[in-house]
Every structure is written in structure tokens, then in C-alpha cells.
Amino acid sequence: MTNIAMPSPVSTEEAQRQDRINGLLAQMGLDEKIGQMSQLQAGGGYVPEHIADAIRAGRVGSVLNEVDLDTINALQHIAVEESRLGIPLLIGRDVIHGFKTIFPIPLGQAASWNTELVEAAARISAAEAAGCGINWTFAPMIDVTRDPRWGRIAESPGEDPLLASAMGVAMVRGFQGDALCEVGAIAACAKHFAAYGAAESGRDYNTANVPENELRNVYLRPFKDAAEAGVATFMTAFCEIDGVPASGNSWLLDDVLRQEWRYNGMVVSDWESVVEMSVHGFTHDDSEAAYAAVTAGVDMEMASTSYRDHLEHMVHSGTVSLEHIDRMVGRILALKFELGLFENPYTQREEHPELLSRQHLKTAKELATQSCVLLKNDEHVLPLSASRLESVSLIGPLADDGYEQMGTWVFDGEAQHSVTVATALRELIGRTVDIRQLAGVETTRADSVDEFAQVRQVAAEVDVNILVLGEESFMSGEAHSRANIDLPGQQLELLEAVAAAGKPVIVVIMAGRPLTLERVLPLADAVLYAWHPGTMGGPAIADLLLGLAAPSGKLPVSFPRVVGQIPIYYAQKNTGRPPTDGTCLHMNDVPAQAPQTSLGMASFHLDAGFRPLFPFGFGLSYTQFQYVKITTSHHHIALGEALDISADVLNTGMHEGEEVVQLYVRDLVGSVTRPVRELKAFRRLRLRPGERQRISFRLHTDELAFYDRHMQWTVEPGHFHAWIGGDSEASLQTEFEVRAA
């Protein structure tokens, strides 16, 4: 047995914990050590005999997917009282965007750009889960992605590394609190390490071919920040990265995570991703897969049992050293000590807050409200004035579906707790306004148009038509990618039927991804994007439609015009032939017999141009904001210095509103090409009508760092442009220079 040297200087508490770990390791047999490295599927509210036996034998370190408090306490009792060494269990669960109180899907939470609120939501999720005995969540998912075809974009924080980092760190803080041993804290898990969001064609589990420079500058950034924020665990991705599956990728799990980042938390594989390396064709069989994973640095195997079946032989034969195993088991034990499980392995329900409490639901409504993004609002058709309404229609398959509005990755939320748009509108205006509700189509996918005649009639009779359209929750999430991201089924035809009535048309969309809306927009006077808004989605949307709240959400991901534009994102490279509005004519505007060089020789699509339908960071309010007077405190600064970039923000409209002010920077020349813009900071600002505020961002040269051609983290002197505005196409621009010294 080896005493595991802790990373340099440790506190007394950490030294004492290390002594306890070393003491335990000294008592453990090899089979018990390997047992700690195994996580088994439980669940169903009872203790399966084979699980009980394995726990008793010290062959299980963790179970996942059991959520019944008494069953979890029974599992812990077997581990603590009936096994030889009494090592408690890690109890894992996917608490992705809520436990019983369901918050908007993470992509929707990212649209709030409100890290404090996202942290508060994670805190509530942790408290509710901990109250049921769960002590480890497999969240935050911080896979940057630029492909809305990918079903798991719903769980992601969107396309931008900085926003993804901010959301990931907020969730880690929320889940883990100030100390993991505190009541209500649970261990978080940064996943899926790494580049899972780069799956080719947006097809889940597909190959991710990402050059190291882009891997470091884009996909790894949120994971590095989560590690620095103290996330307790990492989870490896299903995908291969440039030919090497993440669960067997020693460059990623050892060179980068351990050696470069000095990360000392525990790494768990994704579900059977260890043995899937043989399916990838990276290993021949489970034994080789176990060897690849354990030598790369996967401390715990989820669901599959290749560690349990093969590691003992590898240690006895000397192909895997006992020291290596001890280091891995040490990390698992360290987490259990940090969680306080040795002192308090059992959960007392009364120590925890009630599920779905008024405060929890209030926070869920607030986050859902701030997650909604107003994409269109012609003639200020929104907010509706209830006093001037006699009747409205409420049409669509998602207007009154408490299950679908919760979204993907909802294991423990229940539809009966959801408040739908229909319920919320009835509560708010049902006494004075006639609400004519019709689904119009049976489901979002249904091809039936049987109800359309009735829909047309109602649409013609009411003052305003409100539609709630989109995707059912299963149409995003794991393994649920789409090649066509239009509104599914006959929903566009339903909208056409309603629009034909000539009354104002308000469209609310619930979806787990950006949808292609080019044909929707002309048919609607207003479009509110609600993602899948969770338990309190209905009251949030109703308040926004009626002006009891004002929309402030901003897109965390670009919306393509057509699926053929994907990947499309704001932080593109300039290319040698950057597109401009002047040079990129639409092919329908080109005269017949056009010569080969008839159009600008630039990087664009003849039939879609080069701009998204809506850019990253975009979102309207019920008021208007104007940006003027951008300045920098210095025209040039030296490496290691900072400058202030400031601008005035004015509320030029009639309503009070919140704006997410964004700072973007461009490094004009680099040793590798640099994006045409990069988000560097953002801040929420509340302004009354007519109010003007000057906002300043302090930018340190360290924030301009990137991985250069030699993969060195560096800041290169040179010229920079900067913009402050309300989205990634902000036009208010300034510049500054960074000099060597």
C-alpha cells in the first residue's frame, strides 16, 4: 500500500483526511479497492439482492438512480453496518435542471445570463435532492455546442465558452455550496469531458474531430474553469476525440486534467462508455477497455463491470500497479470524506426543506421569466392589455401540457406540479376575458388537420390569437438529434390557418433547441422563445404576455435561417474572403446567364447568405435600449495591465426594462487566426424609461489570453477592436492596443 502524497501545502484538515484515507487504504483488500471503483445501477425503491450482496462484500463504491429515501438509507446501512470496513456509498442521480421543482432546461437558463439566479436554482435542486438521500449529481453539463441538430444542446449552456463557463461555475457553486459536508450540498460533476458537443452532423455519440488548438480555446475552457471552481468530479464523454475515445484518452485525462490543470477530483465514466471503447473499435474486449480506462485515469466505472471483472488480475500480473489503484481509490474516498458520509451516512428527511416549496417555485418562475427571449414584437403587440381584451384564443399542443413543458432530462419532476400557460392565463384573466382554448393538433408531430376548421372559426372570432407551439420534450436530449429543425408536424400549417384570420398573432415556442423559424416569422406579430421552461413556465409566460414582467432573455446560441448553415456561430474566423452584405447577393437576385464570378467571391451560401436569423446575445425587450459614447480609459496598455471600456446605455422606450449589456473583443492578428468577436464580459442593467447609465467593463490583458500555435497559453501584443451592445452584432465600436511593455 502506498501513502498518497497530497498536492503541495495542505491544511491540517486535509492532512488529517489524508491520514484517514491512507489508514483505510492500508486495511482494504484489493477486491475492496476495486469495489470502490464500481458504480452500479439501482432504483425502483427496493434493495436488489445482488446489490445488497455486492455492497456487503465491499464490491460497490456507488449506486445511481435510486431516489427513495428509505431505500437509500437501507443501502447505506448495508454499506456502513454490514460490510467489513463500513465505507458509505456515493448516491448519484441526474439532477440536471431541478429535482422536484423543475427549472428551465440549461440552455434556457443560459438565456437568462443571470449567474446568481442559476446558482440559486442549482442550490434548490441540490437541497431537494439531498433531502431524498442523493449526494452526487451528474451536472453541470458544460459541453459547448454550435449545432442545434444535436439533441443535447438542450442540456448545454450554448455556443460560447465564456457564457458556458459562467453558467457551469454558477451551477457548481449552487450544487456544492460552501462545503460538501453541509446539509443540502451535493457533489457536482463537470460533464462530458470533452468535446461531446462537436459530434459530427449533430448526431449524438458521433465522432468529434477537433484540432487541439480549437479544443483548448473553445471546448476545454468551461471544464478548466469548473475545475478551478472546485467541482468535485468529472465525467468522461461517450465520444471519441480525433480517434481516441474520451474514456481511454490519457492525453485528456492525465496530461491535461491531472498534470496541466493539477485537478485532484474524481473522474467517473459515462454510462458503459468504458466497455463501449470496444464498440468504437479502440479496444478488443472488456479487459482491454478496462486497462485503457484505468491507465488513462477513469477512477470509477459507471454501470458496466469491466473494472470488477478484470482489474484484480491486472494488478496481480503487474500490468497495473497497486500504487495507481490506491491513487484512484484515494480520490473516491476523499470525496466521501469531504461529503461527511463517514460521520453522517444517513439522511433525515426533516433536516431538509420541503419539496416544491413556495420559495422554490418562486425562484423557478423568476428564472423561467428571465430565460424567455423575445424574438419579434411588431407594433408593440406585446404586452397585451387585459383591460382591452374581450376574448383570446389559446391554440397549440403545448399550451396546456405540464409534462412537455418540463423538457428533457427530468427524472423526478412530475407533470401534476407544472403550471401550464392555459392554467396561468385562466388564473390571471379568465374572469374577464373569454379564453378559447384548442390544441389544434393532437401532438407537435401529428399530421391530423381535423380541428383546423374549428381553429379558423375561433381565430376569426377572438381579439387576439395566442399559439404555444414547438417540440415535445423527447425531441431533444440524449440520443434525440434532428436533421430538420423546423416546427414538427402540422404546426406551421396550424399557424397559417390562424394567421389567415387577420387578427394579431402571438407565438410562444417551447423547444429544446433553436428551431428554423424563417417561415414562422412572417405569420406572427410577436414570437416569444420559452425553451422548455419547467414547472413554472406557465406563470412566467403569462406574466410576460400580459406585461406583469418584461422579457430580458438573450440568446445563448445563434439561430440558423436554414439547417444547411450549421455550424453557425458568432465567434467565427474571418477567413481570407469574409462575407459582407454588399458582396453576398441571394441567388434569386442574380440575373440569368450569370458568369461564374457574378457574385462576390466570399464565404457565404447562395441561398441563405451568411448571417443567422438571430445572432448570439440577441433578445428584445418591451422597451428600447440605445448605446452611445463608447470610450477606452487608455489607447494602449502594456501586458499585465488593464483598461476600462465604457459606454452609455439609454432606455429610449416607454417601459422599464432589463438589458444584458455585452462586451465583445477582437484580436486582429494572432499566431493562430482569432475569432471576429469574443464575448469578454456581460452585466444585467435595469433602466427606467428615459434613464441613462454609463457602464464600464475593466478588461485585463490576461482576459485576452488564448492557446497559440504551440499550445501555449499566451497574450500576444497587438491591436484590438471592442464593442459594447445588446448582442453579438453590436455596432458601437472602439479600439485599443496592447504593447509588449
On whether the CB atoms of residues 600 and 584 are closer than 8 A, the answer is: yes
Kindly tell me which of 65 and 73 has the beta carbon lying closer to ligand GLC: 65
On whether the CB atoms of residues 346 and 75 are closer than 8 A, the answer is: no
Kindly tell me which of 271 and 403 has the beta carbon lying closer to ligand GLC: 271
Kindly tell me which of 142 and 546 has the beta carbon lying closer to ligand GLC: 142
Kindly tell me which of 478 and 493 has the beta carbon lying closer to ligand GLC: 478
List the grid coordinates of 466. Answer: 395566442
Residues 6+ positions from 705 with CB-CB distance below 8 Å: 713, 714, 715
Kindly tell me which of 512 and 612 has the beta carbon lying closer to ligand GLC: 512
Distance of closest approach, residue 65 Cβ to ligand GLC, in angstroms:
7
- Residues in a beta bridge with 700: 642
Residues 6+ positions from 285 with CB-CB distance below 8 Å: 278
Kindly tell me which of 97 and 327 has the beta carbon lying closer to ligand GLC: 97
Distance of closest approach, residue 483 Cβ to ligand GLC, in angstroms:
21
Which segments of 137-204 does DSSP mark as H helices, in order?
161-176
- Interface contacts to ligand GLC, rule CB under 6 A: 94, 138, 191, 270-271, 478
On whether the CB atoms of residues 416 and 463 are closer than 8 A, the answer is: no
Distance between CA atoms of residues 5 and 315, nearest Å? 21
Distance between CA atoms of residues 616 and 123, nearest Å? 27
Distance between CA atoms of residues 496 and 450, nearest Å? 15
List the grid coordinates of 37. Answer: 471503483
DSSP-based three-state secondary structure for 738: strand
- Burial (CB count within 10 angstroms: exposed 0-12, middle 13-18, buried 19+), residue 567: middle
Alpha-carbon torsion 87, 93, 98, 104, what sign? positive
Distance of closest approach, residue 270 Cβ to ligand GLC, in angstroms:
5
Residues 6+ positions from 654 with CB-CB distance below 8 Å: 623, 689
Kindly tell me which of 270 and 716 has the beta carbon lying closer to ligand GLC: 270
Distance between CA atoms of residues 164 and 142, nearest Å? 6
Kindly tell me which of 130 and 141 has the beta carbon lying closer to ligand GLC: 141
Distance between CA atoms of residues 504 and 301, nearest Å? 55
How far is Cα of residue 410 from the mean position of the Cα atoms in its chain?
14
Distance between CA atoms of residues 412 and 417, nearest Å? 11
List the grid coordinates of 91. Answer: 448516491
Which segments of 28-68 does DSSP mark as H helices, in order?
30-36, 49-56
On whether the CB atoms of residues 201 and 208 are closer than 8 A, the answer is: no
Residues 6+ positions from 360 with CB-CB distance below 8 Å: 101, 124, 128, 353
On whether the CB atoms of residues 158 and 144 are closer than 8 A, the answer is: yes
Query: Exposure string (b/e) for 428-439, b if CB count within 10 Å is 16 or more?
Result: bbeeebebbbbb
Distance of closest approach, residue 257 Cβ to ligand GLC, in angstroms:
18
Kindly tell me which of 149 and 191 has the beta carbon lying closer to ligand GLC: 191
Kindly tell me which of 270 and 525 has the beta carbon lying closer to ligand GLC: 270
Kindly tell me which of 35 and 92 has the beta carbon lying closer to ligand GLC: 92
Running DSSP on this structure, what letter comes out for residue 488? P
Q: Which residue has the cell 453539463?
A: 141
- Residues in a beta bridge with 244: 241
Kindly tell me which of 138 and 175 has the beta carbon lying closer to ligand GLC: 138
Kindly tell me which of 41 and 572 has the beta carbon lying closer to ligand GLC: 41
Catalytic residue status for 270: yes
516-517-521 Cα angle (round to 5): 170
Distance between CA atoms of residues 469 and 475, nearest Å? 13
Number of neighbours of residue 390 by Cβ within 10 angstroms: 10
**Sheet containing 526-529: which strands, arranged edge to edge?**
373-377, 526-529, 505-510, 464-470, 391-395, 434-438
Q: Of the residues 143, 270, 400, 543, which is catalytic?
A: 270
On whether the CB atoms of residues 699 and 721 are closer than 8 A, the answer is: no
Distance of closest approach, residue 271 Cβ to ligand GLC, in angstroms:
4
Distance between CA atoms of residues 693 and 206, nearest Å? 47
- Burial (CB count within 10 angstroms: exposed 0-12, middle 13-18, buried 19+), residue 669: exposed
Distance between CA atoms of residues 563 and 531, nearest Å? 18
Residues 6+ positions from 506 with CB-CB distance below 8 Å: 381, 382, 384, 464, 465, 466, 467, 524, 525, 526, 528, 545
Which residue's C-beta sits nearest to ligand GLC?
138
Distance of closest approach, residue 235 Cβ to ligand GLC, in angstroms:
6
Residues classed as catalytic: 270
